[in-house]
Chain A
Amino acid sequence: MVESMSGIPLDPFYGDGLQPGEYPYTRGLHPTGYRSKLWTMRMFAGFGTATDTNARFHALLRAGGTGLSTAFDMPTLMGRDSDHEWAIGEVGRAGVAVDTLADMEDLFAGIELDKVTTSMTINGPAAISMAMYVAVAEKSGVGRADLGGTIQNDILKEYQAQKEYIFPPRPSVRLVTDLIRFTTAEMPRWHPVSISGYHIREAGSTAAQELAFTLANGFAYVEAAVAAGLNVDDFAPRLSFFFNAHSDFFEEIGKYRAARRIWATWMKDRYGATNPKSLMCRFHTQTAGVSLTAQQPENNIARVAVQALSAVLGGTQSLHTDSYDEALALPSEKAARIALRTQQIVAHETGAASVVDPLGGAPFVEWITDEMERQADEIFDHIDQLGNGSMLEGVYAGIEDGYFVGEIADAAYRFEREVNAGRRIIVGVNEFTEGDEDEANLLSIGHETEELQLKRLEKVRGDRDDDAVRGALAALVETAEQPDVNLMPPIIDAVRTYATEGEIVAALETVFGTYVENAVV
């Protein structure tokens, strides 16, 4: 029996009418919520060489983390090797450098891959990272079917917000659907796409835009996968989402509740899904990096705690809490530990996990949930019109005509103007500014990382069988030219020869081309 701190027995949920676990899941996906399974405390980590990040992974697991999450460095995210001219100064800085299978082997050394779940935050080259993960696991005797985790693999939001694209949208979506087809057939525990609003919000969108653009992208992937020959109920249960937990507490809770309702309704009514799991909007949440201030950085601990609580009250399945020093640098180990402790306090001390959807039924919470849905519906109508009745085509059109980037930039500037005019208070920035001190213990990544990684890459290139690499890349190009053949098997073959990520990307670019954004303010 669950009791309050004072010993009052608590039901799993309260209220008449719609219950948690009932379609359309506004009140949550499960009738017992966090009583049956606490959210996964998944802390994003990655810096330096694979060996450095591997040590951080082991530290997080020892500290009670229950899932791994990998941040890759910019060259890796952009599909470029560490020795590419664009990579200078960025190797291992904002994440870990993974050029070849050898780096992926170091990254997960000593970790039982059938015992943890792993999230890999990568998009443009996601199929390559997925292939490397499968190859590492199989080398260590763990079969692909036993691997659990998530790969972000959400390319559409890259054109809209995060800008880590490589190929143009249509061939990129083919890679996404190839990965969906592959995991659907061979990796039943894997989530092949994490449809992400996080970056849309960080780029400046409103809560409703985050909600609507993200779900629209989700509908687009559903349409693409169905067009590729899959049955909606075969893959939809493995789709998951990733939202931002920003600072406006009730608006965020309304957003999560609306997301569940909209997804369930659309999947059932528009896409004909019948498996209840296809209707369930499962999501990871990360607190809003953009809300963190460089001024009085310790205040960020309080911001993160409140944001984390909104995600939990909104029913998130997993959560990353930001470190208080992230407006200044990559997180130090201490700051990352405090961030994890913040989640543990919410989980074990506040009682927030005792009762499902504890705010459900509150007039304001229900109203703002409805309002989020209403605003999202207006945006869906617009995208649907852009695509003449196809959400996938609507999203492509919105990317091509600058609709998404324009809306996001407008919202960002509007917010900035409000802060600047003092209509919005950011504590420590435009009000209550006394007490700022320089933060002393920032993580700094030296040049040695880049040098180490370049040597490592050179050694791997020297030790491998170049004929095997060339053969694998030629086979890959041949497959890329046949739109109906899945690219995952030849990519796995290529990474096993220790072909670099950059070589695989370059091979695909010969068929797919390279995307260049039309720069608009």
Chain B
Amino acid sequence: MSDLPADPSLLLDAESEIPIRVVLAKLGLDGHDRGLKVVARTLRDAGMEVIYLGLRQTTDSIVAACEQEDADAIGLSMHNAGHLTLAPRMVEAVAQAGLDVPVVIGGIVPADDVATLIDFGVAAVIGPGASAQEVVSAVSAAVDRQTAAQ
């Protein structure tokens, strides 16, 4: 684990709240995990609890982790151009399990596909070059919206 101290600028200013719990995973065969690991540490520095599943997960394994860990959000990282196929499957699997958990996608998603993914029910798409603050606020906003909708 890193010897870097947490980045205080990222800390969410909601001291009394229960921390947001996020499941992070790579769905399918894609092995690019640099971005997901950076996001894991970023969210942790922001005070969230990260359940890092890592590589080669299935929609079933992610749903199961969400149920076991009582997660508030799912973060999926995609760098293999399979997002239009895989992301809707994830959203569907979450709905079928009766979970109210937003799915946030990060990675390489062309601009034209972002709207399509949102239409499919993806809560947010975080593109390459997003700052740590943008990552943290995208996840916390997705969780807030989901909570408000309940």
Q: Which residues of A contact B (CB under 8 A)?
A: 74-75, 77-78, 80, 86-90, 93-94, 162-164, 202-204, 290, 293-295, 327-330, 406, 408-410, 412-414, 416-417, 420-421, 426, 429-430, 438, 442, 444-445, 447, 516-517, 519-521
Taking a contact as CB atoms closer than 8 A, the residue among B29, B37, B82 that contacts A413 in the complex is B37
Known: A89-B86, A327-B108, A413-B2. A519 touches B53 (CB 8 A): yes
24 A-B pairs with CB atoms under 8 Å apart are A74-B29, A77-B29, A89-B84, A93-B81, A162-B31, A164-B31, A293-B129, A294-B129, A295-B129, A328-B110, A409-B2, A409-B37, A410-B3, A417-B132, A421-B9, A429-B129, A430-B131, A438-B112, A442-B112, A517-B54, A519-B55, A521-B41, A521-B44, A521-B50
Contact check, A420 vs B1: say whether CB atoms are below 8 A apart: no
Q: Which 7 A-B pairs have the closest CB atoms?
A: A519-B54, A89-B85, A163-B31, A89-B82, A74-B29, A93-B81, A294-B128
Contact check, A442 vs B81: say whether CB atoms are below 8 A apart: no
Judge whether B127 is part of the interface by a CB distance below 8 angstroms. Answer: yes
Taking a contact as CB atoms closer than 8 A, the residue among A87, A290, A430 that contacts B29 in the complex is A87
Known: A204-B34, A294-B128, A521-B37. A89 touches B28 (CB 8 A): yes
Judge whether B95 is part of the interface by a CB distance below 8 angstroms. Answer: no
Known: A409-B2, A430-B131. A86 touches B55 (CB 8 A): no
The residues of B that contact A408 with a CB separation of less than 8 Å are 34
The residues of A that contact B2 with a CB separation of less than 8 Å are 409-410, 413-414
Taking a contact as CB atoms closer than 8 A, the residue among A330, A416, A517 that contacts B38 in the complex is A416
Judge whether B30 is part of the interface by a CB distance below 8 angstroms. Answer: yes
Judge whether B7 is part of the interface by a CB distance below 8 angstroms. Answer: yes
Report how many A-B pairs have Cβ atoms within 8 Å: 117
Known: A86-B28, A202-B34. A413 touches B4 (CB 8 A): yes
The residues of A that contact B50 with a CB separation of less than 8 Å are 521
In the bound assembly, the distance between CA atoms of A295 and B134 in angstroms comes to 15
The residues of B that contact A93 with a CB separation of less than 8 Å are 80-82
Contact check, A94 vs B131: say whether CB atoms are below 8 A apart: no
The residues of A that contact B85 with a CB separation of less than 8 Å are 88-89, 447
Judge whether B33 is part of the interface by a CB distance below 8 angstroms. Answer: yes
In the bound assembly, the distance between CA atoms of A383 and B2 in angstroms comes to 19
Known: A89-B28, A329-B108, A521-B37. A410 touches B129 (CB 8 A): no
**Closest B residue to A294 using CB positions:** B128
Shortest beta-carbon distance from A122 to chain B in Å: 13
Contact check, A517 vs B132: say whether CB atoms are below 8 A apart: no
**Closest A residue to B127 using CB positions:** A294
The residues of B that contact A520 with a CB separation of less than 8 Å are 1, 52, 54
The residues of B that contact A406 with a CB separation of less than 8 Å are 1
Judge whether B74 is part of the interface by a CB distance below 8 angstroms. Answer: no
The residues of B that contact A426 with a CB separation of less than 8 Å are 129
In the bound assembly, the distance between CA atoms of A203 and B128 in angstroms comes to 15
In the bound assembly, the distance between CA atoms of A293 and B128 in angstroms comes to 7
The residues of B that contact A202 with a CB separation of less than 8 Å are 34
Chain B 1-28: CB-based contact to A (< 8 A → 1; otherwise 0): 1111001010000000000000000001
Contact check, B129 vs A90: say whether CB atoms are below 8 A apart: no
Chain B 112-150: CB-based contact to A (< 8 A → 1; otherwise 0): 100000000000000111011100000000000000000
Contact check, A74 vs B129: say whether CB atoms are below 8 A apart: no
Judge whether B105 is part of the interface by a CB distance below 8 angstroms. Answer: no
The residues of A that contact B3 with a CB separation of less than 8 Å are 410
Taking a contact as CB atoms closer than 8 A, the residue among B28, B54, B132 that contacts A416 in the complex is B132
In the bound assembly, the distance between CA atoms of A80 and B82 in angstroms comes to 16
The residues of B that contact A163 with a CB separation of less than 8 Å are 31, 33, 55
Chain B 46-74: CB-based contact to A (< 8 A → 1; otherwise 0): 00001011111000000000000000000
The residues of A that contact B33 with a CB separation of less than 8 Å are 163, 203
Shortest beta-carbon distance from B40 to chain A in Å: 4
The residues of B that contact A94 with a CB separation of less than 8 Å are 30, 80-81
Contact check, A420 vs B54: say whether CB atoms are below 8 A apart: no
**Closest B residue to A93 using CB positions:** B81
In the bound assembly, the distance between CA atoms of A409 and B38 in angstroms comes to 7
In the bound assembly, the distance between CA atoms of A445 and B83 in angstroms comes to 12
Contact check, B52 vs A521: say whether CB atoms are below 8 A apart: yes
In the bound assembly, the distance between CA atoms of A294 and B34 in angstroms comes to 17
Taking a contact as CB atoms closer than 8 A, the residue among A74, A80, A90, A412 that contacts B37 in the complex is A412
Contact check, A80 vs B29: say whether CB atoms are below 8 A apart: yes
Contact check, A74 vs B40: say whether CB atoms are below 8 A apart: no
In the bound assembly, the distance between CA atoms of A391 and B28 in angstroms comes to 33
Contact check, B29 vs A86: say whether CB atoms are below 8 A apart: yes
The residues of A that contact B86 with a CB separation of less than 8 Å are 88-89
Shortest beta-carbon distance from B139 to chain A in Å: 16
Known: A80-B29, A328-B108, A445-B81. A517 touches B127 (CB 8 A): no
Contact check, B108 vs A90: say whether CB atoms are below 8 A apart: no
Shortest beta-carbon distance from B107 to chain A in Å: 11
In the bound assembly, the distance between CA atoms of A202 and B32 in angstroms comes to 9
Taking a contact as CB atoms closer than 8 A, the residue among B38, B56, B110, B128 that contacts A412 in the complex is B38
